[in-house]
Amino acid sequence: MGGGRYVLQDRSTNGVFVNGQRVNGSVVLATGARILIGPYTLILQGDELTIADVGDRIRLDAYNLVREVKDKNNKRRRLLNDISLPIEPGQFIALVGGSGAGKSTLMRTLLGIDPTTEGLVYLNGENLRANFNIYRTQIGYVPQDDIIHKELKVGEVLAYAAKLRLPPDINIEEVVERTLQQIEMSHRRDVLVSQLSGGQRKRVSIGVELLADPKLFFLDEPTSGLDPGLDKKMMQLLRKLANQGRTVILVTHATSNITLCDRIVFLGEGGNLCYFGLPQEAMDFFGITQGDFADIYNKLENKQTVVTEAEKFSKSDYYQRYITNHLSNRSLQLPATSPPQQIPRSFLQQLTLLTQRGFQLIQRDPINLGLSLLTAPIGISLITLAIKDKNPLILGAEPDPTLAPLALRVLFVFTCASIWVGLSSSLQEIVKESAIYLRERLVNLGLFAYLGSKGVVLGGLALLQTILMAIVILNGFQSPNTDLISWSLGLGMTTFLTLFTSMSLGLMVSAIVKNASQANSALPLLLLPQIIFSGVLFKMEGIGSKISWLMLSRWSVGAYGTLVNVNAMVPEPTKLPDGSTIPLPFEATPVYEPSWGNLGLNWGILLLHLAVYFSVTWMVQKRKDIF
């Protein structure tokens, strides 16, 4: 612009931030404006734009961190107790201590995803939690659980992760090849993750994080479960990454290779900082003249000893030398700005990519796919053996009081088969990849794109199941004459809606449960009410009729019964000489009234169930967000 004024336009994928605020379109720059473009920090000084930081040197400063939570008795329990730490660029830091000492809590606090009761964490002088969105691409995080799909090949895992995390103009193939070389896995590129050893899988998880070339790297128990040889190789890899300029922080119980680290943080029970400094000096500080690091663990078993050692360290020369003298001067830091908004991503691009990955995961498990597709058709085909030569869906020439109940039982099997396979196909869909979801969500994964991809994949699976079920039904049972719509079309629509709605119910439960075992245990609990309150086995009256409205089985059977016109199968009651009539096993009901209004109501309520289940799933997943 004229008059010495400058305008910044943002057309980037990852976003540009000016003074902590993301640029939406364009912004007029004032003198002294601080501009963040990826890892780079630029400052406008008059008519000159200078580079203040190229982003390859990241330091963390933690000041007086306190974390308290309420226990089951509503009493406050301290997880971190007044911890201050300076973590300088390129350092390799190990967080060690006994179980329950607060290692993972401290790591997640330094990472910025856990809040603090008191104290703050600064990243290069910025309040990390307030500005996390600026740095999210610069932070790598490998949790305890693998963040990779075992059904994919190593190269595919990295390629999908790169496409999700990196700008579209990046050469994905080059990035993947570079990363494979960094984690020394080029020779395993075309091997399924499920065929890798534990150490190799952990390397692939690290590789996923290295794709964006982060300068700050967190790892939670990366050597857990590895033998001593693999433990050493893993620690050497992390040492190599630190030597390349990255700041690496890991939680570990293994201490046999701890001397590869630049600093160790030794925590005691209650989140007390008992030592921070060189690994080689830890034994001297704790006064252990013989033995190894395991003796430090033994010494800190007693809570009172932990408190004593923490107080001793806070007053020691070690504290002054390694903490006080290295903490950055907070008075020179910029004031925290309002939190920037999460960087938006292309919904369609993520939806396409996640859908492609979802279908590929299904194809890689042919046995499970085969069971999912064939269970319902095989089960339905067995009905023909049970009813022999009867035609349960056709009104015979002679009145038959048993025909309507038989037809309902057959239609009920159609519904139960659909609900069973629908739930089985989706109950683990979200929970099985919860660690992957949380990590991708922390980077840039869109929630609508994620759930949309699940809907597309499950919808495609439901369509295949519908076709197979329809083929078996149309060939195994004589088709009824329907006045509303052709039997094949009505059958397909009702079956698909039942399958897809039950899948959405399973998806909702998958989002709620904590693990795969809970998901499996939920299957009978979900299925039994659908059977009991379907209106077929028992007559629904009183509160039971109201509960049945909440069951998708009631509306599925209702749609099938409307299409078949079950009411027309009910004969006139037989009159006795005294004028009374013989009770029929089934009487006509408005539930199966053969009208467009009734059919539309049944289909509409199934769609309503579908919408409710997906909405609840969205809300549950949204509550898992850290920011």
pLDDT in tens, 199-256: 899 899 999 999 988 889 999 988 777 778 888 888 998 999 898 888 999 998 878 8
Q: 342-394: per-residue pLDDT in tens?
A: 444 588 999 999 999 999 999 999 999 999 999 999 999 999 888 877 888 88
- Cβ atoms within 10 Å, residue 117: 13
pLDDT band for position 605 (50/70/90)? very high
Distance of alpha carbon 214 from alpha carbon 627, whole angstroms: 20
Q: What local confidence, expressed as pLDDT, does residue 30 receive?
A: 80
For residue 479, count other CB atoms closer than 10 A to its CB.
16
Pair 566, 592: CB distance under 8 Å: yes
Q: Which of 307, 332, 357 is the last residue of a domain?
A: 332
Closest CA to 425 of 479, 476, 383, 466: 466
Instruction: Among 301, 332, 363, give the residue marking a domain's end.
Output: 332
- In whole angstroms, give the CA distance from residue 263 to residue 93: 5
Q: Are 115 and 159 contacting, i.e. CB atoms less than 8 angstroms apart?
A: no
Query: Tens digits of per-residue pLDDT, 424-453?
Result: 999 999 999 999 999 999 888 899 999 999
Mean pLDDT of 26-31: 82
Residue 387 in contact with residue 409, Cβ under 8 Å? no
Helix, strand, or coil (residue 274): strand
- C-beta separation of 483 from 567 below 8 A: no
CATH number of 78's domain: 3.40.50.300
CB atoms within 10 A of CB 520: 13
> HEC profile for 96-123?
EECCCCCHHHHHHHHHCCCCCCEEEEEE
Which residues face 53 on adjacent strands?
A: 41
295 plus 408 within the same structural domain: no
Q: Cα separation of 60 and 90, whole Å? A: 11
Pick from 128-142, 309-323, 360-374, 448-462: least confident: 128-142
Q: Does 278 share its domain with 412?
A: no
- Please give the single-letter amino acid code of residue 426: S
Alpha-carbon gap, residue 319 to 521, rounded angstroms: 51
On whether the CB atoms of residues 55 and 41 are closer than 8 A, the answer is yes
- Are both 436 and 314 inside the same structural domain? no
Instruction: Tell me which of 3-7, 99-103, 136-140 is least confident.
Output: 3-7
Phi/psi for 255 (5° steps) reads -125, 10
pLDDT value for 320: 93
> Which DSSP state fits 534?
T
Q: How is residue 321 annotated by DSSP?
A: I
157-162: Cβ within 8 A, 24+ apart: 157/193, 157/204, 157/207, 157/208, 158/204, 158/207, 158/208, 158/211, 160/353, 160/357, 161/208, 161/211, 161/440, 162/211
Q: Within a domain: residue 341? A: no
Are residues 526 and 575 located together in one domain of the fold?
yes
478 lies in the same domain as 364: yes
The answer to whether position 92 is within a domain reads: yes
Concatenated DSSP letters for 155-167? HHHHHHHHHHHS-
Q: How many domains does the chain have?
A: 3
Q: Look at residue 12 in the predicted model and tell me its pLDDT.
A: 64
Q: How far is CA 175 from CA 150, 211, 212, 342, 620, in A?
A: 21, 7, 9, 24, 34
Residue 402 lies in a domain: yes
Residues 289 and 268 in one domain: yes
Q: How confident is the model at residue 337 (pLDDT cuts 50, 70, 90)?
A: very low
Question: Does 255 map to a domain?
Answer: yes
Determine the pLDDT at residue 261.
Answer: 93
Domain end point (choices 332, 364, 389): 332
The per-residue pLDDT for 567 is: 87
pTM for the whole thing?
A: 0.83
Are residues 328 and 447 both part of a single domain? no
Token match 């949309």: residue? 452
What is the reported pLDDT for 167? Answer: 81
Q: Which long-range contacts (C-beta less than 8 Å, at least 24 apart) are formed by 12-15? A: 12/37, 12/167, 13/167, 13/168, 13/169, 13/345, 14/38, 14/137, 14/167, 14/343, 15/340, 15/343, 15/344
**Structure confidence at residue 340 (pLDDT):** 42
Sheet strands (E) in 491-538: none
Domain that holds residue 69: 60-332
- Mean residue pLDDT of the chain comes to 87
- The proportion of the chain whose per-residue pLDDT surpasses 90, expressed as a percent, equals 50
Residue 38, pLDDT score: 63
- Closest residue by Cα to residue 59 from 96, 91, 20: 91
* CA–CA distance, 214 with 206 (Å, rounded to integer): 11
Report which of 260, 232, 264 is spatially closest to residue 251, judged by C-alpha positions.
264
Distance CA 305, CA 300 (A): 6
CA-to-CA dists, residue 90 to 126, 214, 219, 261, 300, angstroms: 18, 12, 15, 11, 30
CA–CA dist 96, 296 (Å, integer): 10
- Would residue 605 count as lying in a domain? yes
- Could you tell me if 367 and 241 lie in one domain? no
Residue 63 has pLDDT above 90, yes or no: yes
Is 4 a residue whose pLDDT tops 70? Answer: no
Is residue 224, in this structure, part of any structural domain at all?
A: yes
Residues with Cβ < 8 Å from 75, sequence gap 6 or more? none
Please tell me the distance from the alpha carbon of residue 459 to that of residue 436, in angstroms, as a whole number. Answer: 22
Is residue 339 a part of any domain in this protein? Answer: no
Mean pLDDT of 449-462: 97
% of the chain beyond a pLDDT of 70: 91
Task: Write down the pLDDT at residue 186.
Answer: 93
pLDDT at residue 345, as a whole number: 59
Q: What strand order describes the sheet that includes 76-87?
A: 76-87, 60-70, 118-123, 126-127
Do 321 and 419 have their domain in common? Answer: no
CA distance linking residue 317 with residue 368, whole number of Å = 62
Neighbours of 2 (CB within 10 A): 4
* More confident site: 572 or 388: 388
pLDDT greater than 70 at residue 597: yes
When pLDDT is averaged across residues 490-502 and rounded to a whole number, the result is: 97
Tokens of 466: 């519908």
The Cα-based distances of 323 to 9, 85, 563 in angstroms read 42, 6, 77
pLDDT over 80 at 560, yes or no: yes
The Cα diameter of the chain in Å comes to 110
| Residue 340 placed within a domain | no
- pLDDT the model gives residue 331: 41
Mark whether 231 and 305 lie in a shared domain.
yes
Q: Quick one: 318 and 404 in the same domain?
A: no
Cβ partners under 8 Å of residue 167, min gap 6: 12, 13, 14
The CA distance from 618 to 39, in Å, is 32
Give all strands (DSSP E) within 344-455, no chain letters. Answer: none
| Together in a domain, 45 and 75 | no
